[in-house]
Structure 1
């Protein structure tokens, strides 16, 4: 029996001795030359349901160009070969392994004091009240899950500044009214998947809420990878071109508004002249209207005097006393002088009227005849200018156009007044001359006549009296027309005064509008360059194409190809009832049997 024990011990030594003889010593690894062409790291982290870190381990993938002994670094508490059964040597931060050609995998469990680059906090509310995750399982009501992501000042900032986070969680379709702010909800079989994207270097607060029944939760998964958002700058060039076109359009708008302001200034000056000219015309026409009763009264006196003289001569006998008749030439001269004064008054009035009418006509002609289209007016309202100012501009513009159209309709009547005044003055002067001539001839005839020339005198006075009756009727009609013009013009003049006040406000508004568009143009003329600077800043902030990966586990590792993070929180599940099971006795293996040999 003792011989058999020795035989087994010898057999065990034969099995293990070759592996002891071939085991790589530490002294031999000091001159190791790396045969690794690249290295990938996938960092797995588990968190509790509130986001507190439980454990971190890293799966390392080494691309080995030539089989042999290689060296890697990492602050691990323990390591595990995931490729074959070869044991790894772990000394402080060094990991030594005998690796075949190709991909070699091993796992390193991080020390408890290692930290992630992000602080992750998860909180839960049930019907508006904060609850612990352990108290939420199986509950029914309105659940809100809040996820806070921020930089961990104790972590490596390289990953926080350059890595994009994709946060996802799954809720059953049985949950109702699932809502989120900034997240994307998609169907995933019998579940709803909610996904958030957090840009590099950004702190975010994410929220998901739903009406739940018998609540359970699979947890939150966070994937962190280097940001590789494709930024196509070709479209941005079109955008800056569009901004250039917009800036140019604003410049043209500013020029147009400047022209508008100049036009409005001219309009305001024109309406001021119109107001002054209208005032003079109103004064002249009112003066004529006031003097019309006196003119009519004087003309009636002349008409009655002529008729009286004619009747007197007709009723007298051939041997009548001509002493009284000798006073007639002096009376006719006096009437002729009165007519001359009337004609002079009409001439002065015609001159004043012509001056006022010329001012009125010139002022109204200065009102721009060009019509603004509805599209142009709408464009002004869309330019960003003050709506109140634009309302004044449009109202004054409409009023000025109304005055111009009204004037075009009554212009012929105004022009006819000038002609009528001229004709009336000339007619009265002609009549005055005729009366003077009659008086002169009558005076000579009376001195020479003995009564035989009385018949001729009667005929002349009869013709003069008849013609004067026609003149008097025309004069009465003319004064009635002057009265109507004077009454109507009062209303027109009031409108012109309102127009002048409106165009004054219009000029102020146009000045404000031009100041606004000038400021807008100054602010936007460099818009393309400003936009390009913003685009460059955005590209600089989010384009991480020049990012060089670094190792998460040790700064001594080189040839890092990629580093990724997979982070998951614990699930929230209802406790299952525990059932006891009787396990069958485990059969002893080869090694257990071998160890029993040494126990004797």
Structure 2
């Protein structure tokens, strides 16, 4: 009797769910409402990236229980919430939501459905591409190359607004892992490699490692909306920095322009100095060349004075005064030659003073401040064209070298003008002395007769004696002129090299100024250009205003989120077959039911 009651109770329990199910079906005939919907698209790819089966897990947030139509073309569906059956219709899935809350179901997409991305996975072992089926258990230097492309056959809204997170879980059989642009993280004994592909971008990712007894769980790809807004609060500081850089480049360009002007003045001064030095050198060479003739003429005058003096001393009656009358003219001619030499020295001194003044003023305008290595390094790091900076540094070094050389040799330049003054005064003194001697001698000859010959003889003796000292000074002077002419040749060679060097420096600084002018022209609007690039980046990558759309059907509304989970097949070694145990004999329903009450 007791067992009969138990069986009756069990039968009632079995009938009750069917009755309740029928009752709930009757209630679901009323229309339900959904406030939001989430879609998670699962796709399995072959090991090389070829597309496999795709299914979608739909999550409906039911606000009012009842009948709900969810759009989408599915080959089959499966209820993941309760035991009620679902059927796929032509336009979607009609379901009965028995209660409020989340309702989950799986919809398998028909064969031929494609993803918004095409994926290709290539395996290269020891430099040779290997098919995935042949790779399990192999060892060597392995490269796994993952490429993602836009699938133009699918609505582009997902490709343009979703970022991809590509992950690989590598076991400890992978050593010396290299992953450019990938993030490597520890995951227990394993290593997880993660790459990020930005929305609207195709990418190629490579992982290289030394592998032993290769096995691989596959590549996992998560596609999610790039919905994080880009924070632009720090961009103001960036644009301000770019503004400072632009101002610094302007100052650099202005400074180089001033440097070019100064170097041009230096070169003009050096060129004038070289030209004046050339004239001075030619004059010195000509003067030195005439020195022998001058000394010879003076020696002849000295010999003539000695003969006249000797003749007057021996016998006044036998003196022939005709030759003596020619002496004043010779002395006057010599004095005139010395006067012309002095005038040439005066002109040379004036030209040299102008050239030297121009050179001295131009070189003094070269800034004396020294650039430190840190300042040069900051200039290279400022973003300026390295070639332009190289020219600037080279021109700066050359200008400092010119200034240093001038500072060391400035005393030699300064000593030339005083020397010219002394030489001019000495030559003019000699010319004046000879003119005085000639005048006195000429006057004496006019007023002299034989009765005053004794007085003439005394005057000639005095002139002869004084002229000896003059002749000695003239010989010393011509010797100094010869030595100065020889030494000045070396100084003139240096001045010519200086002029050539400042010419090259002027050309180099001119090119530098052209470069800095172009650099400034290209960077004067740098803050605006930077802001434009920031705005472009924000427009390209900030998807915070993106509104999700359904992947399975554009008719679905109130879509809250759509995500993609994509995974390639794993590559495993084949397991050795093992002896299978004989299956247990299945027990009948009543036998199992009896066991529940034992």
**Which of 412, 415, 419 is the equivalent residue of 1:416?**
419
The alpha carbon displacement at 1:493 in A equals 2.4
* Structure 2 residue aligned with 1:565: 564
Are 2:582 and 1:587 aligned? Answer: no
The alpha carbon displacement at 1:548 in A equals 0.4
Secondary structure of the 1:547 match is coil
The alpha carbon displacement at 1:545 in A equals 0.4
CA distances 1:248-274 after superposition (whole Å, capped 9, x unpaired): 222222222222222233233323322
Distance 1:489 1:20, change over 3 A: same
* Structure 2 residue aligned with 1:4: none
1-side partners of 2:469 and 2:323: how far apart?
A: 22
2-side partners of 1:297 and 1:212: how far apart?
A: 103
Are 2:86 and 1:97 aligned? Answer: no
1:248-259 mapped onto 2 (5 Å cutoff): 248-259=247-258
Distance 1:423 1:128, change over 3 A: closer
2-side partners of 1:300 and 1:123: how far apart?
A: 107
Distance 1:503 1:140, change over 3 A: closer
* Structure 2 residue aligned with 1:351: 346
* Structure 2 residue aligned with 1:42: 40
Contact 2:62/2:97 (8 A) holds in 1: no
TM-score normalised by L of structure 1: 0.86
The alpha carbon displacement at 1:216 in A equals 1.6
Are 2:193 and 1:194 aligned? Answer: yes
CA distances 1:2-48 after superposition (whole Å, capped 9, x unpaired): xxxxx99x97878745643552499x46xx252x2222222222223
* Structure 1 residue aligned with 2:156: 157
CA distances 1:399-441 after superposition (whole Å, capped 9, x unpaired): 5763575243342243222233223323432343234224423
* Structure 2 residue aligned with 1:3: none
* Structure 2 residue aligned with 1:491: 490
* Structure 1 residue aligned with 2:463: 464
Are 2:328 and 1:333 aligned? Answer: yes
Contact 2:38/2:561 (8 A) holds in 1: yes
1:176-187 mapped onto 2 (5 Å cutoff): 176-187=175-186
Unmatched 5+ stretches in structure 1: 1-6, 594-600
CA distances 1:188-234 after superposition (whole Å, capped 9, x unpaired): 11112121111112222222233222222112211111113452212
Contact 2:76/2:87 (8 A) holds in 1: no
TM-score normalised by L of structure 2: 0.86
Secondary structure of the 2:463 match is helix
* Structure 1 residue aligned with 2:76: 78
**Which of 421, 426, 442 is the equivalent residue of 2:429?**
426
2-side partners of 1:500 and 1:337: how far apart?
A: 42
Distance 1:217 1:366, change over 3 A: same
Contact 1:39/1:562 (8 A) holds in 2: yes
1-side partners of 2:122 and 2:332: how far apart?
A: 114
1:223-262 mapped onto 2 (5 Å cutoff): 223-262=222-261
CA distances 1:342-374 after superposition (whole Å, capped 9, x unpaired): 343333333333333334423433432134555
2-side partners of 1:351 and 1:409: how far apart?
A: 19
Higher alpha-carbon deviation: 531-540 or 343-352: 343-352
Contact 2:27/2:66 (8 A) holds in 1: no
Contact 2:549/2:562 (8 A) holds in 1: yes
The alpha carbon displacement at 1:477 in A equals 1.0
* Structure 2 residue aligned with 1:598: none
CA distances 1:129-166 after superposition (whole Å, capped 9, x unpaired): 33332322222333332222112223332211111111
The alpha carbon displacement at 1:551 in A equals 1.5
Higher alpha-carbon deviation: 394-403 or 262-271: 394-403
Are 2:447 and 1:444 aligned? Answer: yes
1-side partners of 2:21 and 2:386: how far apart?
A: 86
2-side partners of 1:291 and 1:244: how far apart?
A: 69
Distance 1:407 1:15, change over 3 A: closer
The alpha carbon displacement at 1:298 in A equals 2.0
2-side partners of 1:104 and 1:536: how far apart?
A: 42
Higher alpha-carbon deviation: 499-508 or 509-518: 499-508
Computed over aligned residues only, the root mean square deviation of the Cα atoms, in angstroms, reads: 3.3
Are 2:541 and 1:539 aligned? Answer: no
Contact 2:227/2:546 (8 A) holds in 1: no
2-side partners of 1:396 and 1:496: how far apart?
A: 16
Distance 1:324 1:163, change over 3 A: same
Secondary structure of the 1:262 match is helix
2-side partners of 1:13 and 1:507: how far apart?
A: 107
Contact 1:140/1:214 (8 A) holds in 2: yes
Contact 1:173/1:192 (8 A) holds in 2: yes
Distance 1:22 1:184, change over 3 A: closer
1-side partners of 2:309 and 2:294: how far apart?
A: 23
Secondary structure of the 1:42 match is strand
Contact 1:328/1:439 (8 A) holds in 2: no
2-side partners of 1:15 and 1:240: how far apart?
A: 71
The alpha carbon displacement at 1:546 in A equals 0.6
Secondary structure of the 2:205 match is strand
Contact 1:39/1:62 (8 A) holds in 2: yes
User: Aligned pair count?
Assistant: 577
1-side partners of 2:227 and 2:514: how far apart?
A: 46
* Structure 1 residue aligned with 2:473: 474
* Structure 1 residue aligned with 2:216: 217
The alpha carbon displacement at 1:313 in A equals 3.5
